[in-house]
Amino acid sequence: MWKTLFVVLISLVLMAGCSSKESGTDEKESSGSSSSPKEEELVIAVNENFISMDPHNTGDTNSNSVQTAMLEGLLGSDEEGQIIPQLAEEYSVSDNALEYSFKLRQGVTFHDGEPFNAEAVKTSFERIMKDESLRLNSRGFNLITSIDVIDDYQIKVTLKEPYAGMLTRFVSAKILSPKLINDSSNDIGKTPVGTGPFKFVEWVQGDHLTVERFDDYWNKADRVKKITYKPVPENGSRVAMLKTGEAHVIYPAPVQNLKELESNSDVEIHKIPSTIARYVSINTMKEPYDDVRIRQAINYAVNKEAFISVVNSGYGLPLDSIIPSKTQFYSKQETYDHNIEKAKELMKEAGFEDGFNAEIWGNTNSDTLKGMQFIQQQLKEIGITVEIKSMEEGTLSDEIYGAQTPEEAKVQMWYVSWSAYPSDTTNATKPLFSSSSFPPDGANTAYYKNDDVDKWITEVNQTADPDKQAEIYSNIQSAIYKDAPWIFLGVDEILAGSRSNVEGVFISPTGGINVTDANLK
Amino acid sequence: MIPILFIVSILIFFFTHLIPGDPARLVAGKDATLEEVNIIRAELGLDQPIWDQYITYMSNLFQGDLGTSLKTGLPVSEMFADRFMPSIYLTFMSMGWALVLGLLIGTLSAVFKNKWPDYFGMVTAVSGISMPGFWLGLILIQIFSVQLGWFPTGGAESWKSYILPSITLGAGIMSMLARFTRSSLLETLRADFIRTGRAKGLKESVVIPKHALRNSLIPVVTIAGLQFGFLLGGSVVVETVFSFPGMGRLLIDSIAFRDYPVIQAELLLFSIEFILVNLIVDIMYSMLNPKIRYVT
């Protein structure tokens, strides 16, 4: 009797097999027309979810990227990350670095039809000034004493004290439609309305965010009709999307797939020098690191070229100053070349000929771990035995910022990175090297204190004269580089991939994706 | 159910706040000063005593307010809205085919013990259970998306997007169910009442499905229920590989960011789902075996 059952079951299996085969062939036929995106739509796959669309309260690169498609500031930034006029046609800064005057562009409208003018700028800026919880508030906008509307298209902003990072803040402070701000029922973090080349369509949490061409945009050009941004955290999946054409641009492109992608004629790879500095901060207030010779010895002992090829798979540049070369006012320093003999000599001079035990902290990211192991292996050469402490990000943050005074700080070396806007040299120096920025007040985890540097950092922020700024920043860089409060490891190169029919999309040194002139051939 | 949920809510709330890491610092950024961090802490209500925070949380919860995400500033319910249904669909789809194939393979293997359907079934089951989801997912993308172009590599836009993730998720469960069905059915087939059934001349097509299979299903239903509950919680691996907008990745992201309201709401939701699934499993027990009844 079981034969009957056997026959029934087998036929069931066969039926299931056949039907799936049939539906499979359907798939193949239909996929050509429906699942491959039409050439009217540009798809960009990025590695992380977007956090918020509120431009005045954004800290992550990917949210910023999407916002720049829809929103504009008085100032913008070019391919190199340098500041250019955007909604302002012209701007000027007074000699005492307190007054910023803008002449606004005329004939600009918001996506909701509202006109763009000085009042609209004032509404946006006042929103940031009044709300202390907005990220931009504490970064410059809390220094504003008055906003004067001179006429419809002229506006003047006055600060109570000079702040050299302010121009970069005018790039970040996107101008939102006053109608959006004044109507409290709107959620700015979800549905932004600005003046950009694309307007918001929909945001499906965790899946995609779509924008569509704004036909009344002030700068007419041929642009793609729709752009969809997708968070795709898995590297292999992003690569697969680029290969199948499901995505036109992927950021970042994973290093391990570069060879495979480079051999694909439909795909182009872009390498962009970034403003991401990789370094290990050395606690200059702790023994034996309080001796500059020890810190220099550590720098001589680490082979930076090997670091870039081993840890960054060859994609990177040397960090030959305290700031990356794309940062404004950068000046190249004489680097600590790999020299074990010299390192040993310095160790001996400092009285540590036989080395010592050290500890390095970092997060649990696999690349960080690789980097720390590299440092461990390099420092072994000069007798320093490094113990690696890999901690989950929140715990690590507690350990670092939990210390209220330099004496309480337990950190010896921290493997970390820093990125500031290319135009914002203040943010690339002050939080890292000013003695007012010891944790928990900033990220000076080297507990670096140099009275000259402190004085210069204050001075450089009090002038708007670029020549004077360049001179002071040059002093700052050479003094700090000699003091070696960091192991200066390298500057990341950003990797992105695109289909060969993509035009007008570029990646900035901070990893932002600019789509202002995006089009598909 | 209500008392359980009340205890769960307390556990979730306090354990969430016990995780080391300061959300205010994470929101403010590495370059923030202590003053900025404190302003944000006050804004988020994290400067209040923990019991006050719990009372606020519970009273909001009773009004149907799950809170606002610390990270995105969006209401938690909105963040769930786009992710909840895709997770449910994916769970049902994965569970559906895993149940059908798992039972089928398990039954065939038991009925044809030590014959080729058994070997074939068990090889399939062992392969299914030993393939890591991460690897299987990437292989499926490579074959069916990149090479053949049948299915999209990810997302949740159409039913096609669900096929590959559901295979990846279901493979392990199917294998587990197949093995459980097989061993449980083999045991039942040796039971006296089966011998009696066969002795009195019942056809195999009646003995196997009606008497043997039905009596072997209790452990299978237990396992299936548990797996169903886990699936509802979302799968980080599959959601990551297929960039699927589900609940699992949201939880991991929220934990990394110490986004208390999202973590709490999500854990509470999972607890409710688990309690419901358990209830259904209990009901199924008594349907499968009327001897199992709750004493009132």
User: DSSP secondary structure string, B133-154?
Assistant: HHHHHHHHIIIIIIIS--S-SS
Judge whether B69 lies within some domain.
Answer: no
Residue B187 amino acid letter: E
Residue in A closest to B33 by C-alpha:
A441
* pLDDT value at residue A22: 37
Percent of chain A with pLDDT over 70: 93
Domain presence at residue B72: no
- Residues 6 or more apart whose CB falls under 8 angstroms from that of B62 comprise none
The CA-atom distances, in angstroms, between B115 and each of A10, B118, B181 are 14, 5, 17
Q: Is B251 part of any domain? A: yes
Mean pLDDT, rounded, for A435-444: 92
CB A416 within 8 A of CB A281: yes
Which pLDDT score, from 0 to 100, does residue A366 have? 82
For an interface test with B, give the residue of A241, A395, A444, A445 to mutate (most B CBs within 10 A). A241
pLDDT digits (tens, 9 = 90+) for A111-141: 999 999 999 999 999 999 998 878 888 778 9
The yes-or-no verdict on residue B195 having pLDDT over 50 is: yes
Domain presence at residue B33:
yes
Give the pLDDT confidence of B37-89 residue by residue, as tens digits.
888 888 888 888 988 999 988 899 889 888 888 888 888 998 888 888 888 99
Contact across the interface for A394 and B74, Cβ inside 8 Å: no
Are B195 and B282 within one domain? yes
Q: Is the pLDDT of residue A59 over 90?
A: no
A246 to B152: CB separation less than 8 angstroms, yes or no: yes
- Residue A2 predicted with pLDDT over 80: no
pLDDT given for residue B293 in this prediction: 66
For residues B97 and B22, membership in a common domain is answered with no
Closest approach of A192 to chain B, Cα-based (Å):
13
User: Does some domain include residue B75?
Assistant: no
The answer for residues whose C-beta is within 8 angstroms of residue B195's C-beta and 6 or more apart is: none
- Mean pLDDT, rounded, of chain B: 87
Residue B79 forms contact with A (CB below 8 Å): yes
> Which parts of A341-471 are beta strand (E)?
357-362, 385-390, 413-419
At B295, the pLDDT band (50, 70, 90 cuts) reads: low
How distant is the Cα of A239 from the closest Cα of chain B, in angstroms? Answer: 10
Same domain, B53 and B99: no
What per-residue confidence (pLDDT) applies to A11?
45
Q: Please tell me the distance in Å from B34's CA to the nearest CA on chain A.
A: 5
Q: Tell me, yes or no, whether B278 and B219 share the same domain.
A: yes
Are A189 and B78 an interchain contact pair (Cβ–Cβ within 8 Å)? no
Record: contact B204-A2, CB cut-off 8 A: yes
Comparing alpha-carbon positions, the chain B residue that sits nearest to A430 is B31
Q: Show residues of chain B in contact with A59, CB under 8 Å.
A: 27, 29
Is B255 found in the same domain as B114? Answer: yes
Smallest Cβ–Cβ distance between B205 and the set A5, A59, A187 belongs to A5
B76: in domain: no
Q: Which of residues 8-27 of B touch A (CB under 8 A)?
A: 19-22, 25-27
Dihedrals φ, ψ of B131, to 5°? -80, 120
The reply to whether residue A9 touches residue B107, judged by beta carbons under 8 angstroms, is yes
Residue A440: is the preceding peptide bond cis (ω within 30°)?
A: yes
Across the interface, do A401 and B22 touch by the CB < 8 Å criterion? Answer: yes
Number of domains, chain B: 2
B281 and chain A in contact, CB less than 8 A: no
Model pLDDT for residues A185-205, shown as the tens digit of each residue: 878 888 999 999 999 999 988
* Number of CB pairs, chain A paired with chain B, less than 8 A apart: 174
B153-to-A45, B172, B240, B275 alpha-carbon distances in Å: 12, 21, 11, 34
Higher pLDDT, A440 or A484: A484
The ranges assigned to domains in chain A are 1-21+39-46+196-266+500-521, 72-194, 274-493
Q: What is the pLDDT of residues A388-412, one digit of tens each?
A: 999 988 889 889 988 899 999 999 9
pLDDT-derived band at A29 (thresholds 50, 70, 90) equals: very low
For residues B243 and B173, state if they share a domain: yes
User: What global pTM score does this model have?
Assistant: 0.82
Query: Across the interface, which of A27, A49, A441 has its CB nearest the CB of B253?
Result: A49
The CATH number of the structural domain formed by A1-21+39-46+196-266+500-521 is 3.40.190.10
> What is the CB-side half-sphere exposure of residue A23 using CA atoms within 13 A?
9
pLDDT at B7 over 80: yes
**Which CATH number characterizes residue B253's domain?**
1.10.3720.10
Instruction: Give A-chain residues touching B160 at CB under 8 angstroms.
Output: 27, 31, 35
Q: Do the chains contact at A207 and B104, CB–CB below 8 Å?
A: no
**In this prediction, what percent of chain A has a pLDDT beyond 90?**
72
Q: If you classify domain A274-493 with CATH, what class do you get?
A: alpha beta
- Cβ-Cβ contacts under 8 Å, B74 against chain A: 52, 187, 189-190, 205
Same domain? B110 vs B40: no
Query: What rounded mean pLDDT belongs to chain A?
Result: 89
Collect all residues of chain A within an 8 Å Cβ-Cβ radius of residue B241: 234, 236-237
* Residue B290 belongs to domain spanning: 84-295
Does B108 have pLDDT greater than 80?
A: yes
| Domain boundaries A72-194, CATH class | alpha beta
**pLDDT of residue A302 exceeding 70:** yes
pLDDT band at A318 (very low <50, low <70, confident <90, very high): very high
- Closest approach of A205 to chain B, Cα-based (Å): 6
Same domain, residue pair B178 and B257: yes
Query: What's the CA gap between A463 and A425, in Å, rounded?
Result: 13
Q: In B, which residues are within 8 Å of A132 by CB distance?
A: 39, 43
Q: Do B204 and A8 touch (CB under 8 A)?
A: no
Residue in B32, B40, B245 nearest the CB of A133: B40
By Cβ distance, the residue of A9, A395, A443 closest to B104 is: A9
pLDDT tier for residue A435 given thresholds of 50, 70 and 90:
very high
Euclidean distance between CA atoms B86 and B98, whole angstroms:
18
B208 at A interface, C-beta within 8 A: yes
Which has the higher per-residue pLDDT, A211 or A7?
Answer: A211
User: Pairing state of beta strands A316-317 and A226-231?
Assistant: unpaired
Separation between Cα atoms, residue A157 and residue A144, nearest integer Å: 7
Q: Does residue B41 sit within a domain?
A: yes
Is B245 part of the contact surface with chain A (CB cutoff 8 Å)? yes
Q: Do B245 and A207 touch (CB under 8 A)?
A: yes
Residue B58 and residue B88 share a domain:
no
Q: Cβ contact (<8 Å) for B21 and A393?
A: yes
